Structure 1
Amino acid sequence: MKSHSLVLSAVLLAQALFFPQQGLAAPTSPEAFFKQPPGTDYYLANYSEYEGYLKRLAEESDRMELVDIGDTAEGRTQWMAIVSSPENLANLEHYRMISEKLARAKDLDEEEARNLASEGKAVIWIDAGLHATEVVTSQGQIQVLYKMLSQTDAETMRMLDDVIILFAHDNPDGMELVSDWYMRKSKKEDREFEHLPRLYQKYIGHDNNRDSFMVQMPETENINRVLFRQWYPQIVYNQHQTGPEGMVVFVPPFRDPFNFNYDPIVMAQLDEVGSAMHSRLLSEGKAGSGKRGAAPYSTWHNGMVRSVSYFHNAVGLLTEIIGGPTPTKIPLAPSTQLPSGDEIMPISPRDWHLQDTLDYQWTLNRAVIDYASRNRERLLFNIYRMGANSIEKGSRDHWTVTPSKVTTLANAAPYVAEGDEDKFRRPNAPKLIDPALYQEVLEAPEDRDPRAYIISPEQLDYPTAIAFLNALIKNGVDVEKAESAFSAGGKTYPAGVYIVRTAQAYRPHIIDMFEPQDHPHDAEYPGGPPKAPYDITGYTLAYQMGVKFDRILDGVEGDFSLVPDLIATPAGKILGSGGAGWLVSHDANNSFILTNRLLKAGLDPAWLTAPTNVSGTDMQPGAIWVPASDEARLIIAASVTELGLNAVAVDAKPSVEMIDLKPVRIGLVDRYGGVIPVGWTRWLLEQFEFPYETVYVQRLDKGGLAKDFDVLLFADGALSSSGAWGMSRPETQPERKDIPSEYRGMLGEFTEEKTLSAIAEFVRGGGSVVALGSAGRFSQLLETPLEPALAQTVDGAMAPLDSKTFFIPGSILRAQVDNSQPLGYGLPDEVDMFFNRSQTFVLAKGESDVSAVSWFEGRDLLRSGWAIGEEKLAGTIAIADVPVGDGKLLILGTEVAQRAQPYGTFKFLFNALLYGGAE
């Protein structure tokens, strides 16, 4: 066996022969830097090693510049390697500015745009993956970087001259965790990462690819800053695994439906790039690629790295490829063996190694870079053209055609035929109707798209409206502020309101955040069950966050200034001068931060149970009473300024009944490996300064829970599903001996004999359980009077309604709220509520002291998304306060905190936590 030094010498000699540039040494190869060559079976480099290699390459190569784009959730540096020719790197800011001018398309005519496109360089983003257990991309990028920095063939040199490539890593923390976990065992055959102890992004794990329009995680903010506020790449390539069964890789184009808000040029170019990728694989004899119907991926949802790009006029690419460090086999799937338009070149069963995957990835990366090189000028001009199209649409009357409007049009008139021509129509030909109906139905004046949205301080929760505007700004949207009063839409607005005009390049994203999604009806076959979307279908952010806005259908003129950066929450103030204490409205989510600070300091805030009027200010139930003290005064003074709250100083304690609050001991229930909604909930609790302790089954099984907790919080998915909630897939827990000792306390499965018994004792003895989403199953486990409303009996067992009868796969519905009850404090009478295949409830016949806090009323509930059978929700309960013995079961049956987006319904959760522990 050769020594390491001899191998290294041979590698360096080969590099010198391969890289004959005058005066420049070859960059260090991966084989010479890492413990083993990346791509070797049973080996994964971690992020620390990857980071070290990036720094080495940056020192050695004049084709690369290394940029720090921000910190991760765990404090690591998120690096981006900018790769191009030395000449391009010397003029990097010049080319970045060209990319920005063309993408923004502002004050730029076609001739200027063509000149800039001729001069500029195509910019593309190629990342090393989001999902840390999809390990091949991070290992593959090491090889891709080295080859792009070392090869001197004519194609590589052309690519470097024409293209600026942004090689980035989306999830450094996850790469470190997964690689270290995999490599921890000395026996290579025992290595695995199926049993990670926790989520591979500090809070949200796999959902780090669902945060793009909300931008709450630091990694997402770093990525969006590069994509939509700094570099404006024309292509965004986000790599994933694993590929379709019996194949190697899914490559675009995607299946329908695509979202009707973005420019059609995006879809045309997406097809072009995808075809170039397939073609290059085929030309190299690399079989097993599939597209469209080969996998479920679509382009509807805005929340993913590659899909948010469509709403910013960039081509978003996703590939899903097989492989990993542990060798595997390509199985035989008969359905994949016959060539078709979606599966052009089948692959036979065979052994598969990590390097096989990396070879495919190199080809795919190369195809994308080559496409950008050959189409450099057209890519640059087309991103201008799409931006200019958006500006033009936002500057005049424009109508977006939606599925609902098309249905209305189709039902507007009978088929019109001349003579007997109808008999010659081909089968399944489109139905023809009177062309005059086009304008009447599809271009009705009142259905015009807005030219602007105006957000004023007159909000139930103004700090949340500011958070919404900041989410837009983080996505590169221009937000303006009125410097003086102006009129629009027949209304006069004061100085200080915010305006979001649609006459800007990122109009598709703006419309998608303010307007309802109207998802097409997508069936498996005509008359068949609905075809499940790839992700949720309705997510209008303004609705989820409860933000009030005015839609302005005509032009807006006034003295406006562009907001230069993120907006600070406007400072609140103390009103009045009374010395007995303060009253603070319950309307703003930030009031919970104040409450938690008061409780942490050992003070005694309380909730008023009835409305009151203080110094001319109406206070609704839930207003927070803070008795006067020196410490309270300091906390109030600092918090109202920071949090945008107003506190009314009063002369006397209000004479209404109150609910006394106390420091609440929250046990947030999680499982080994981490539950994603639990992670989102954990992040949310930290943002609003709720104290909590993470709890696992072993602790629950011990009983005596009241000693440590006032409230047990079960997020959606924390309790295994069953019956009316569907059946969750069985979780395979690792052998205890295979798990390091610090993680063994996380192991264990929920059982009715031990776990449920301990929880029931806790609740009946005075504790509270807060159950979100599928954890509403506690309504049955604790034998309450609530029964699941959306259920049927199948083979003698309770099951969810079938999808042809009832199907709401992630949409926004309108719900009613009783805001005189503690769980409803601070909420409006009606609220937009996110609903994702959830369960609602009806009361069993007979007497009951269950309080319905939020429910669905009527048959027309859909606000955004897709709903089949929504009428079945009428009269059913979504949020309930259920006494159980001396304690409470607080059921939040819908996903009121889903992905930390629906700020408009957070109060249900926050109220439940404080009320659950209240006196």
Structure 2
Amino acid sequence: MSSLPARPRFALAGVLLILVAGAFRPAAQSHGPAADEDFARLVREWTTRPEFLSPLVDHLPVVAGIPTPKDVIGHHIGQPRKLTYYDDILRYYRALAAATPRVKLIDIGKSDEGRDLIVVAIGDADTMRDLERYRNHLARLADPRDVTEAQAREVIAQAKPIYHIMAGLHSGETGPPEMLMELAYRLAAEETPLLRQIRGNVIVTLTPVADPDGRDRYVDWYYAYKVDEKGEDDSMGGPPYWGKYVLHDNNRDINYSQAITQALLGWFLKWHPPVMHDIHESVPFLYTFSGQAPQNPNLDPILYGELPWFANFEMTQAARYGMPGVWTHAFVDMWSPGYLAFMASNHNALVRMYEVYGNGGANTMKRRVERGEGAGSQATREWYRPLPPYKEVEWSIRNNVNYGQTAVLTALQLTAAFPQVILENFYQKSRNAVAAGRKEPPYAYVIPAGQRDMTRVAFVVNVLRAQGIEVGQAKAELKLADGTFPTGSIVVKRDQPYGRLAKILLEKQEFPDPTLRTYDDTGWTMGLLTHTEVKAIADKAVLDAPVMPIGEMKVAGRVTGTVQASGWLAVRANGSSRLVTLRWRLRDIPMRAASKAFTAGGTEIEAGSLLVRAGSAEAAKRTAAAVEDLGLTAAWLAAVPADAVTHDADLPRVAVYSTWGSTQEVGWVRYALDQYGVAYDLVFKERVRQGGLRAAYDVIVVPSQSGSGKRLVFDIEPKSKPLAYRKTERFKNLGMYGESDDITGGMGLEGVVELKRFVEEGGLLVTMGGASYFPPDFGLTRRVEASRPSPQFYAPGPTVQAEILKAEHPIFYGYDRKTVPVRWANGPLLRVPDEDKGQVLMQFPGGDASVLSGLMRGANEIRNRPAAVDVPLGKGRVVVFATNPCYRWQNLGEFNMLFNALMHFNDMN
């Protein structure tokens, strides 16, 4: 497939002249509206050094009828000790949209706590009146199969790129949501040649605050505790929660489980912005992402040219303005596809990202940028950092606003100078994605029909479909060189616009260079993590296989056999995690469970299957209906054999323990339990110290958190005053998902004693991942040792083999293989003495051959180390997972290890 023809040289030269003219024309030189003198004076006052301000943002025009942020929220942006609540941010954008035809608001959904999620669109009035036409242009370029090259050229000539900017995904990064309000006003009202060029050539869209629930909670916390902070050393930290479930990991939600990520993805797939720009806060003074190694090789090479093109232009312009500390490279890499803004690069658009220096609030304070010399220094001169940050600096939120807004306007300047190049690249990347699926294997992925648990197949399919990937179901048996697959098998062909993304998500990750480090996980293969069979297809004939397109996949449950009044309904443990949903949904119905597999009437009933007496007609009817609704499999049995070993499937009273300082991994477990309908209490140090745990609970789950036993026990270091987390009349967003008079100090040794007493009195304690240092370190599993790998060991989230040693243990009900893929959780290296080896339920074979996807450097260090142990203590038990069987809504294949522990809590013997 040929590319678009090269543009005539004179046309490109003309564009370059426009760019140069725009670049060197002082932004404030204009015969337009008068400037706000109060704004200019205050901005100079709030900016701590003259070189931290640029001519792009040192002024603000006053336009009659168009409100500035101050007109609505009462202060200019960047005022010290001022942060804006989300309601007021929305109020400003609504006032702006009501005042000018250059601004429109698009509703995209609701947050978990019911706040409106919006996208703000800004352009010239003509563009805004015809916004739907421009959306349709981009949709046509996003799917090149529906346009000829000639038609594409016509579309590009009429289209405008959408440049989408997102702020406030991480609630502790407070400056960008403030900055966007001023940027929106400037884009809508300012009449400099640069701003007119941007409005005329680009549609700018904004996500004002990606996580509004977290924004309001953090602003509450700021005014309650941080507004008087003087420096880094007296920080009062942040609130224990941002959003409902996760904090920082809302930028790692690869399967789009959260309400805010789902809403933004839905908008993206409808509007197809060629550029998506996520603004964060961390390193000094402004880092602009350039897609450094390791790079995902599946993404288009055009992308890897676009990234430094923008970053280098931004560095150049910042140097022109004399602004130090703008740099690129040497921070975030381009390996993992799971960051939220990477929905752009995953869908043939350009992903962009900044990190702007911030103080975690709105206070001006002295900062030590450089705490030491060395390769990790961010204040040294490098080829990618020609004008480095200062080693010490007095930093303000207005500095943050100046840097972020100057850089964004510079990026928009480049986009406005080359709008057709941006559109051509977007179209070409889409074409290349389709062509790649026809040129090189694998040409498709097949998920065979007839797998033991088709609900996990449906999960994979629906995650792919949610991301716009086309999925089909084979209309007939597939006979390919790679094998024969039954009718109804799932086929994901790669000759489609998002075929590259399908490969990224479904292939096994081969990390390109073991000497490199990466910012997040190195492995995420969906088939391995969900224990779903996925087959890569090298036979090109698969592209011609007839399939029926799938929208959303729903698995219908199946009940076989004939009901008999004296019989039983056996709900089979075929590996589906939805078995736990059925048990909790039907909590009022007595059930038994098969302790071991048995055969009845020629039907094999697996260990862990649930048994309901048919004699209770209503109970049997409701169970059968739930089986069908949940996609489970059940069989009517005339009788349960007399020699069948069963036990009561009692429902436990479950508590999930969380520290106040490490709620994120706990949040992922809460999310899973909520999705599967498992009832639980969320408890903190206050409830543990209170005692009487065994009278209230049967199981206490301690999700991965804290990273050491000591940190789990003692948690947040006490501050100069108590840090209460309670809802008050003034701070209505605090006290959500738990309350405390002081979140510092941890459960302490008093809490350890109570947890030990809970187990000794017959309770089940389950620890996962990083929390599993706690039982060995504090004597709950005296003969189990927990250590850490060597400094040379490096394993950021690969998928590795685990060997099940005790297949009969209830934790492994529904698992039918001796070895299973598990995600390496950076948990403890466990060691059990030889005489207690019977307590080891699962172990890591270790070695390079056991690494299934991603990178593990030093894989021999985990050889034959326990992955799960079950240790008796008094009348109860402690189950210690070195793995994390409930990670980020990803490793659904491991979820049942936790769910089985809950369902069979009192039958571990």
Q: TM-score range by the shorter chain?
A: 0.7 to 0.9
Secondary structure at the counterpart of residue 732 of structure 1 = coil
* Alpha-carbon separation, structure 2, partners of 1:735 and 1:692: 34
Aligned to 1:158: 197
Give the distance between the partners of 1:330 and 1:148, measured in 2 at CA: 32
5 Å-filtered alignment, 1:181-196, equals 181-184=221-224, 194-196=236-238
Q: TM-score, normalised by structure 1?
A: 0.85
Structure 1 counterpart of 2:425, from 371, 374, 382:
382
Kindly provide the amino acid, as one letter, of the partner of residue 678 in structure 2: F
| Aligned residue in 2 for 1:176 | 216
User: One-letter code of the match for 1:208?
Assistant: N
For 2:621 and 2:634, how far apart are their aligned partners in 1?
Answer: 12
Q: Which residue of 1 aligns with 2:241?
A: 199
> For residues 94 and 732 of structure 1, do their structure 2 counterparts lie closer, same or farther at Cα, with a shift above 3 Å needed?
same
Task: Tell me the equivalent position of 2:286.
Answer: 249
1:567 aligns with 2:608: no
Aligned position for 1:232: 272
Task: Give 1:54-93 correspondences, 5 Å limit.
Answer: 54-93=93-132
| Matching of residues 460-609 of structure 1 within 5 Å | 460-489=452-481, 491-523=483-515, 532-553=517-538, 554-556=540-542, 557-563=544-550, 565-573=551-559, 575-579=561-565, 580-586=567-573, 587-599=575-587, 601=588, 603-609=589-595
Partner of 2:256: 215
1:329 aligned to which of 360, 366, 371: 366
| 2:150 alignment counterpart | 111
CA shift, 1:326, in A, is 0.8
Alpha carbon RMSD of aligned pairs, Å? 2.8
Aligned to 1:844: 833
> CA 1:828 to 1:166, structure 2 compared with 1: closer, same or farther past 3 Å?
farther
Cα offsets for 1:254-286 (capped at 9, x unmatched): 431111111111110011111122222222222
User: Aligned to 1:372, which of 415, 418, 421?
Assistant: 415
Residue identity opposite 1:906 in structure 2: F
Paired with 1:741 and 1:368, the residues of 2 have a C-alpha distance of 42
- The TM-score with structure 2 as length reference comes to 0.86
Matched-pair contact (CA < 8 Å) for 1:621–1:819: no
Residues 86-106 of structure 1 deviation map (CA, whole Å, 9 limit, x = unaligned): 211222222112212212222
Taking the aligned partners of 1:375 and 1:361, their CA distance within structure 2 comes to 21
Give the structure 1 partner of residue 779 of structure 2: 782
Aligned residue number for residue 819 of structure 1: 807
1:820 alignment partner, SS class: coil
1:343 lines up with 2:382 in the alignment: no
Deviation, structure 1 residue 204? 0.8
1:668 has 2:656 as partner: yes
The CA deviation string for residues 737-764 of structure 1, in whole angstroms up to 9 with x for no partner, is: 4525553256353466312211111111
Structure 2 Cα separation of the partners of residues 492 and 336 of structure 1? 55
Structure 2 counterparts to residues 294-309 of structure 1, below 5 A: 296-309=331-344
Distance 1:643 1:755, change over 3 A: same
SS of residue matched to 1:880:
strand
Per-residue deviation, 1:237: 0.4
The yes-or-no answer on 1:102 pairing with 2:121 is no
Amino acid at match of 1:355: R
User: Which residue identity lines up with residue 648 of structure 1 in the other structure?
Assistant: A
| Superposed CA offset, 1:135-182 (max 9, x none) | 111111111111111112221121112111220131111111111222
Deviation at 1:337, TM superposition (A): 5.7
CA spacing shift, 1:668–1:99, aligned 2, 3 Å: same
Check whether the contact 2:867–2:883 (CA below 8 A) recurs between aligned residues: yes
The aligned runs of 1:128-139 (5 Å cut-off) are 128-139=167-178
- Cα 1:699/1:675, change in 2 over 3 Å: same
- Separation (CA, whole Å) in 2 of partners of 1:783 and 1:674: 22
Q: Find the aligned partners of 1:362 and 1:39 in 2 and give their Cα distance.
A: 12
CA contact (8 A) 1:810 1:865 kept: yes
Q: 1:771 aligns with which of 757, 767, 770?
A: 767
Counterpart of 2:684, as a letter, is: Y
**Aligned-residue offset at 1:197:** 3.9
Verify the 8 A CA contact 1:67 1:82 in the aligned structure 2: yes
Give the AA of the match of 1:392.
Answer: A
Shift of 1:653: 3.1
SS at match of 2:344: helix
The one-letter code matched in structure 2 to 1:663 is: L
Q: Which residue of 2 aligns with 1:445?
A: none
Q: Deviations over 1:611-655 (max 9, x none)?
A: 123454322211111223244234313312321112212222343
Whole-Å separation in 2 of the counterparts to 1:633 and 1:625: 10
1:596, 1:37 → 2: CA distance? Answer: 53
Tell me what 1:318 maps to.
Answer: 353
Distance 2:362 2:429 in 1: 42
Deviation at 1:689, TM superposition (A): 1.2
Q: 1:573: how far off?
A: 4.0
- After superposition, the Cα gap between the structure-2 partners of 1:870 and 1:490, relative to the gap in structure 1 and judged at 3 Å, is closer
Match in the other structure for 2:50? none
What percent identity do the matched residue pairs reach?
23
Deviations 1:779-819 (A, max 9, x none): 34335365447x4xxxxxxxx23232x33221000112243
SS of residue in 1 equivalent to 2:904: helix
**Partner-residue secondary structure (3-state), 1:360:** helix
- SS where residue 621 of structure 1 aligns? coil
> Which position in structure 2 is the counterpart of 1:647?
634
Which of these residues, 415, 435, 448, is aligned with residue 456 of structure 1? 448
SS in 2 for 1:659: strand
Q: What CA distance in whole angstroms lies between the structure 1 residues aligned with 2:317 and 2:848?
A: 52
Q: Give the direction of change, closer, same or farther, for the CA distance of 1:560–1:811 in structure 2 (3 Å limit).
A: same
- Counterpart of 2:874, as a letter, is G
From 390, 400, 406, the counterpart of 1:357: 400
1:38 matched to 2:35: no
> Equivalent residue for 1:418?
none
Give the secondary structure class of the aligned counterpart of 1:137: helix
Describe the shift of the 1:330–1:619 C-alpha distance in structure 2 as closer, same or farther (beyond 3 A). same
Indicate if the aligned counterparts of 1:19 and 1:152 stay in contact, CA closer than 8 A.
no
Please state how far the C-alpha of 1:187 moved relative to its aligned partner. 6.9
Query: Any unmatched runs of 5+ in structure 2?
Result: 1-34, 40-59, 728-738
Checking the alignment, whether the CA contact within 8 Å between 1:235 and 1:316 is kept in structure 2 is: yes
Cα offset, 1:387, TM superposition:
1.7
- Aligned counterpart, 2:755: 759
Q: Quick one: distance in 2 between partners of 1:729 and 1:391?
A: 54
- In the alignment, is residue 286 of structure 1 matched against residue 273 of structure 2? no
Counterpart for residue 263 of structure 1: 300
Aligned to 1:413: none
Q: 1:118 to 1:617 in 2, by over 3 A?
A: farther
Aligned-pair CA distance for 1:462: 0.9
Inter-partner Cα distance in structure 2 for 1:617 and 1:746: 57
How many residues align? The count is 825
Structure 1: gaps (5+ residues)? 1-6, 12-16, 399-448, 524-530, 792-799
**Map of 1:409 onto structure 2:** none
Describe the superposition over 1:321-368 as per-residue Cα deviations: whole angstroms up to 9, x where unpaired. 113401123436376665331211134444222112111111111122
Moved more, 575-584 or 888-897: 575-584
